Amino acid sequence: MNAAERFLLDVPDLWREVDLSGEELAAVRAKALAATSDPREKARINDMVRQGREVARAARRHGALLATGTATLYDDGLFLAYGMVFAVSTPQGSELTLPVLSAQLGAGGDAAPKDRVVTAVELPHAGTAARVTGTETVRLTADVETRLLTMHTMVPVPERPGDFLAVTLASPNLPLRAEVYDLFDAITSTFRFVSADGGAAPEGTAPGR
């Protein structure tokens, strides 16, 4: 078992562990709906909350090592964002190159998002990682789709060739594109591995072999 089996990811104060029961999200929805009389705004709030519920379900289905998010009502509207960390292993005999990563990451179906960008980034505490950003179309139900700003960052696990931790962040607040990506980059930049005797309690734990 590798010593780097734990990790830390700092998130803003208003973010917390995803409430898979949906009770907290329902309370925020009620508060947001009470704050507006605009039918369009009410419909947008309901759509965003529906997206939040689906993201929570996806975290549970895919066994996220860490699931966090925020549903915060500001003076100018509701802000929703979600973060998850998953363990990913490259199949025997394969190589996880940036083009392969671009094709595999995301929930947008067969076609890659038109604004998809694939880059290598340098994380201050974890070294070089691969990153994919883009506006993905996610199917919530059989006949309902929504669009999310997404950022996926693949961090190699030290001393485990072919093993990665994928830090995925998403938000339905499309008009805030620049601000959302700046926030996601700042959050991901705090990622670091912690040794078994590293002292600080980890936000999440990567499974050991």
For position 202, what pLDDT does the model report? 37
Alpha helices in the chain (DSSP H): 23-34, 39-61, 98-104, 177-188
- By residue count, the chain amounts to 209
Q: What is the DSSP letter of 8?
A: E
Residue for token pair 């700092």: 10
d(CA 74, CA 7) in angstroms, rounded, equals 31
**Over its length of 209 residues, how does the chain's per-residue pLDDT go in tens digits?**
233 358 999 988 888 776 545 566 677 778 778 888 888 878 877 777 776 666 666 655 655 788 888 888 888 788 889 888 888 877 666 655 555 555 555 544 456 678 888 899 999 999 999 999 999 887 655 666 778 899 999 999 888 878 889 899 999 899 999 999 999 999 999 999 987 654 443 344 443 32
CA distance 102 to 122: 18
Q: How many CB atoms lie within 10 A of CB 87?
A: 16
Q: What is the pLDDT of residue 51?
A: 67
Task: State residue 180's pLDDT score.
Answer: 96
pLDDT at 116: 87
Residue with tokens 């409430």: 19
Identify the pLDDT of residue 62: 58
DSSP type of residue 176? G
pLDDT at 99: 53
The whole-model pTM stands at 0.71
